[in-house]
Amino acid sequence: KQEVTQIPAALSVPEGENLVLNCSFTDSAIYNLQWFRQDPGKGLTSLLLIQSSQREQTSGRLNASLDKSSGRSTLYIAASQPGDSATYLCAVAGSQGNLIFGKGTKLSVKP
Amino acid sequence: DAGVIQSPRHEVTEMGQEVTLRCKPISGHNSLFWYRQTMMRGLELLIYFNNNVPIDDSGMPEDRFSAKMPNASFSTLKIQPSEPRDSAVYFCASSLGDIIGYTFGSGTRLTVV
């Protein structure tokens, strides 16, 4: 059974810092991996989607990497801003398209 | 496209009552997913459909939960009878295979008192 773990559970950094969020999964037979952002009381917003054949994806200040063989992904946020404060969720997709989520990393960026 | 539309946004009901949550996926998407989010357990997949057919309902917690997708543009998640431990945010998501990824609705916050 696929399990997704995110470390750390919470992170507080000063504005301007570069930071890395970690995600690990137990079954490397994944279809793709997605990173989502969730603001308090809101739904999920897709940030980056990495296909199983890809190694990384970039969008603006965000860069996500995928190492299937080791069951790991990282989300790199450059020059963090207070507006980046949210919970970041990692999810892996199986062959049927179902997503399995980690419990998230709650990020707080202090001005 | 208006995205994935869920209704109601908030629902407060008494224990024992029937609750029906509704979802309209993005037009053209062929997969639909129901998730439940709680502080303790995070996001859990309850059931998903592919081309309106239920593929895996192993995440449905009990027989009190049922889901239907009568056509490509509508799905319901029903809880009967509801219990306080069902209180959570229920999300619906749709996708078109693994290429486009997933789009989530804004969720229904259910409170059972």
- State yes or no: pLDDT of B23 exceeds 60: yes
Is B34 touching A (CB cutoff 8 A)? no
Instruction: Select the residue of B45, B50, B105 nearest A100 (Cβ to Cβ).
Output: B45
The whole-angstrom distance between B46's CA and the closest CA on chain A is 10
Tens of pLDDT, residues B29-66:
999 999 999 988 899 999 999 999 999 898 898 899 99
Confidence of residue A93 (pLDDT cuts 50, 70, 90): confident
pLDDT band at B76 (very low <50, low <70, confident <90, very high): very high
Average pLDDT of chain A, as a whole number: 93
Burial (CB count within 10 angstroms: exposed 0-12, middle 13-18, buried 19+), residue A21: buried
Residue type present at position B47: I
pLDDT of residue A41: 84
In a mutagenesis test of the A interface, which of B57, B98, B99, B111 is the best target, namely the one with the most A β-carbons within 10 Å? B98
Query: Residue A37 is encoded by which pair of tokens?
Result: 């952002």
Task: Nearest by CB to B107, from A34, A43, A103: name it.
Answer: A43
CA of B44, closest CA in chain A: separation in Å? 7
Contact across the interface for A99 and B55, Cβ inside 8 Å: no
Instruction: Assign B3 to helix, strand or coil.
Output: coil
CA dist A44 → B23, B37, B43, B45 (Å): 15, 11, 11, 14
Contact criterion met (CB < 8 Å) for B101 and A51: no
The answer to whether residue A93 neighbours chain B at the CB level (below 8 Å) is yes
